[in-house]
Amino acid sequence: MKRIAAILFFISALTGLSLAQKFTVAVSKNKVAVGEPFQIQFTLSGPGSDMKLPNLNDFEVYQGPFQSSSATLSSSGVYTQSASIAYVIGAKKEGKFVIGPASVNVNGATVQSNAIIIEVSKGAGTAAASSADLMVRAIVNKSKAYIGEEVAVTFKLYFRVDILGMNAISMPSFDGFFLQEAKNNPNRVTETVNGVPYDVTELKRTFAIPQRTGRLSIDPLEVECIVRRSTYGTAAVKIKSNPLSIEVLPLPEAGKPPGFAGAVGDYNYKVELSGDKVKANEALNLLITISGKGNLKLVEAPKIGFPEDFEAYDPKVKENISVGAGMSGSKTFDYLVIPRHEGDYKINNLDFSFFNPSKNEYVTIPAPELNIHVDKGEGNSNTSANVYSPANKTEVRELGTDIRYIKTQGPELRDKNDYFFGSGAFWTGLISPFLLFFIFLFYRRRSIEQNKDAVAVKSRQATKMAKKRLSAAEEHLRSLNRELFYLEISQALYGYLSDKLNISGSSLNKGTIAEMLAARSVSGTTIAQLISTLDNCEFARYAPSAVSGDLNLIYTSTVELITKIENEIK
């Protein structure tokens, strides 16, 4: 009610005479049910200012204020004026309540309105009406799945009332799942539930991939809808979806191929080599492409046993994955390899295995054996490619035998008692290699110790990685793509927190994040700001119209939020 009390009620004075001021309060009905909306209107005839409302703590304000004013000129030349402010409110509980007088300042004097008595019965209220007119349903395409198998989870809103707005109260948590959000379909359709027709719209669609076996639960989605209940106004109705549970089965041990690495779905597989004949110290590319439908995001790079004489680098990964009826597309691993010596080599054991849940069987796609012939490279192929081997050995030539080059300077002379042995330069040159060696060992051991702890390395690099992720959000900011902007902001925050707090993807949820940040001395204000930002980002992805704000300000606040967490965390 602070927002309402802060509104200044004033009417600018009109020239001429005015009649005696009257300040009254009226309601559309004085007998209502709990949650039933009704209108209360404050009216002043004449100029006034600084209105103060009565205590309305027993009521919920659904709409308002609605302001109106009028002025008329009588035939006798007298101006009359009036102004009113109205609200749509509803009682929070049953009983008899007195709405006390409101007051307004008129020419320096305080004028009070009449009091109003409201009788509130138990009635149907908003909650009872919501079960019949408004509901959220959580639907899964399967209640039993293998570990690593996609489960489609859809949240739908069913309604038979006019919905004016919607706010997220709590988002569903998916503990134990890897999530891939799909773009929801907001189109309105009609469905019949227990013989009753409803208008239906999709709020959220997610493909959840279980990461551990057992029975996993999915918490409800809870929202507050602003619905039109009467001619005058609205009511706020809180509803939540049904909870879900998924039984996650382990992959069968029978028939599991030796090289199986956890791919689940239905895939194709292709192996390509940029060439089968190359010179020593020249690079070639090995491309492995996995395409199809399934848990593509979780498919890791194949481990390849390259010949010892090959220098191989970690593969570059290129993803072309879309989420429609499921996760599908392709993932390519590009290995750069450099053979260092001439000879004939083979790369084999490149077969790819996956589990097909629809057929309940393992599938192995064989790959051909790759034969590579390496010719002798430039210079000596048995030495490092970095050794300098000049191709042109005729840089210095004798131009003739009759005339030789005449030196213009004599030899540099020094004192016969000036010896290098025992000099400062001698001892410096003698000691320097040992000193540099120990310095190198010190920093090397320090680097090894620092990088030995993978958790600490990820934590130190968390802010740097977050800034890289935010660059994608900045691109969507420039193009004013709100939905993708909020998606990138959410992924940047979750990625930063996963690295900083060493939380795996399956355990990454707001509850765990809040607990771990609090345990590491991050202030409650910062945690609340973080959770609010994550909630807004998630809700904006399926109800963009319900979330507003300056995208530049949101981007700047997110960067400042990461900096604040970085400064506070211990």
Least confident of 208-222, 313-327, 403-417: 403-417
For 86-129, write each residue's pLDDT tens digit. 888 888 888 999 998 888 888 888 888 888 899 888 754 444 34
pLDDT at 520: 86
Most confident by average pLDDT, 19-28, 65-74, 210-219: 210-219
Q: Is the pTM of this model over 0.75?
A: no
What is the mean pLDDT of the segment spanning 546-554?
Answer: 66
**Contacts of residue 306, Cβ cutoff 8 Å, sequence gap at least 6:** 312, 337, 347
Please provide the size of the chain in residues: 570
Q: Which residue has the tokens 């490149």?
A: 350
pLDDT tens readout for residues 239-296: 889 999 999 999 999 999 988 989 999 999 999 999 889 998 889 999 999 999 999 9
- Between the ranges 27-36, 140-149, 220-229, 529-538, where is the mean pLDDT highest? 140-149
Which carries the bigger pLDDT value, residue 80 or residue 533? 533
Output the pLDDT for position 192.
82
According to the model, what pLDDT value does residue 123 have?
57
Q: Distance of alpha carbon 247 from its chain centroid, rounded?
A: 27
User: How open is the CA angle 337-339-340, to the nearest 5 degrees?
Assistant: 130
pLDDT for residue 4 is more than 80: no
Query: Going by C-beta distance under 8 Å and a sequence separation of 6 or more, which residues neighbour residue 243?
Result: 138, 217, 218, 219, 220
Listed in sequence order, the residues at least 6 apart from 236 whose beta carbon sits closer than 8 Å to its beta carbon are 60, 62, 126, 224, 225, 226
Question: Who wins on pLDDT, 460 or 139?
Answer: 139
Which of 386 and 117 is assigned the larger pLDDT?
Answer: 117
Q: What is the mean pLDDT of residues 384-413?
A: 48
Q: What would the two tokens of residue 4 be?
A: 């309402």
Residue 168 pLDDT > 80: no
pLDDT of residue 183: 78
Q: What is the dihedral of CA 435, 439, 441, 447, to 10 degrees?
A: -170
Q: What is the pLDDT of residues 315-351, one digit of tens each?
A: 999 999 888 778 899 999 999 999 988 999 999 889 9
Supply the angle between the helices 524-540 and 510-519 in degrees, to the nearest 10: 160
pLDDT at 419 over 80: no
Give, as one character, the DSSP assignment of residue 383.
Answer: S
Indicate if the pLDDT at residue 551 is higher than 60.
yes
The pLDDT assigned to 379 comes to: 56
Q: Is residue 390 scored above 50 in pLDDT? A: no
CA atoms within 13 A on the CB side of 396: 2
Of residues 364, 344, 342, 340, the one with CA closest to residue 354: 364
Cα–Cα distances (Å) from 172 to 78, 86, 186, 220, in that order, read: 64, 37, 19, 5
Phi/psi at 484 (nearest 5 deg)? Answer: -70, -30
